[in-house]
Amino acid sequence: MNRSIKKYWPLFVLPTLTAFAIGFIWPFVWGIFLSFCKFTTVKKIKIVGLANYTKIFSDSSFVDALKFTSVFSIVSTILINVLAFTVALLLIRGIKGTNIFRTVFFMPNLIGGIVLGYIWQILLNGLLSKWELPLLALNEKYGFIGLLVLMSWQQIGYMMIIYIAGLQNVSSDIIEAAKIDGAGSFQTLFKVQIPMVMPSITICTFLTLTNSFKLFDQNLSLTGGEPAKKTQMLALNIYETYYSRSGAQWKGIGQAKAVVFFLLVVVISLIQLKITRSREVQA
């Protein structure tokens, strides 16, 4: 059987493989090559070795963006997961209206990042001006909080769905057994339920962490990096380096930044997976 399918590989594999080569493999390899070059158009390319990489860290906007992104990712990951887990835990009690609440909390996920950013910009600026505080674009602290509120609003519902599915998979026998052995509800939560849903926690922290770290649309539309690039995150910083700065060297530096960004995402994902996977238990 194996062999007869194998003969048909041009039909089964070739379309995807071709598109994958055009849409991912070639741009990726070429991107790595260009990070070692100075170029403005793709026709005038000069290899400069590691020069682009050494210039990245003398560009203070990149270092600032890295700091902002790291702090934001950690805070938002913790906030979103704690809130989503709490909501999930309360909603599996079977209270009245559970289905409606689930529907409402998940809904913001379907709205795109650009649109979400503008809705929240109008709303938050309305609130801030009512309280006579500086607007989003003028104060980096409110920009940070605004992004945090926006991301929580968008992502809590998604993570809640995953946690509900995980919690419902914990068989009631185990919880019953724990209760008979004299565990209180807090002990049941921390010693039984949380260890049992560790796979859900792994995937949710992975998703929130990478989503926050790679955030672009919401950042662009909510604050646009204002004031003075203080709320600019890494993805937006790379985009600006590429497309908004004049000067022959910037495209190469932008590409080098993108490579560093990519490596950071890989390292963070691997560390995060390793930490949470090691805590997963078998029932």
Question: Which range, of 53-61, 62-70, 71-79, 238-246, touches another protein by CB under 8 A?
Answer: 238-246
How many contiguous H segments (helices) and E segments (strands) does the chain have? 16, 2
Task: Please tell me whether residue 122 binds another protein under the rule CB under 8 A.
Answer: yes
Task: Please tell me whether residue 105 binds another protein under the rule CB under 8 A.
Answer: yes
User: Pick from 198, 234, 223: which is nearest to 73 by CA?
Assistant: 234
Among 57, 67, 71, 112, binds another protein (CB under 8 A): 112
Among 46, 110, 182, 247, binds another protein (CB under 8 A): 110
Show the binding pattern over residues 17-46: x = contacts another protein (CB under 8 A), - = does not. Answer: x-xxxxxxxxxx-xx--x-------x----
Alpha-carbon distance of 236 to 216, in angstroms, equals: 6
Number of CB atoms found within 10 A of residue 163's CB = 24
Task: Please tell me whether residue 57 binds another protein under the rule CB under 8 A.
Answer: no
SS3 label, residue 249: coil
- How far lies 249's CA from each of 30, 45, 50, in Å? 17, 11, 13
Among 59, 217, 226, 280, binds another protein (CB under 8 A): 217
Task: Please tell me whether residue 283 binds another protein under the rule CB under 8 A.
Answer: no
Question: Which range, of 49-57, 67-75, 190-198, 264-272, touches another protein by CB under 8 A?
Answer: 264-272
Alpha-helical runs (H) found in 35-112 = 51-56, 60-91, 98-106
Q: Which is nearer to another protein, 54 or 97 (CB)?
A: 97
The set of residues, in sequence order, having a beta carbon less than 8 Å from that of 229 and lying 6+ positions away, is: 61, 64, 65, 237
Task: Please tell me whether residue 53 binds another protein under the rule CB under 8 A.
Answer: no
Total count of residues recorded for the chain: 283
The set of residues, in sequence order, having a beta carbon less than 8 Å from that of 188 and lying 6+ positions away, is: 175, 178, 179
Whole-number minimum distance, CB 79 to another protein, in Å?
A: 15
Task: Please tell me whether residue 275 binds another protein under the rule CB under 8 A.
Answer: no
Task: Please tell me whether residue 191 binds another protein under the rule CB under 8 A.
Answer: no
Question: Which range, of 48-56, 69-77, 129-137, 171-179, touches another protein by CB under 8 A?
Answer: 129-137
Task: Please tell me whether residue 1 binds another protein under the rule CB under 8 A.
Answer: yes
Number of CB atoms found within 10 A of residue 228's CB = 10
Two structure tokens written together for 278 = 């090691």
Q: Determine the size of the site formed for another protein (CB under 8 A).
A: 92
The set of residues, in sequence order, having a beta carbon less than 8 Å from that of 175 and lying 6+ positions away, is: 188, 192, 193
Whole-number minimum distance, CB 173 to another protein, in Å?
A: 21
Among 101, 133, 175, 195, binds another protein (CB under 8 A): 101
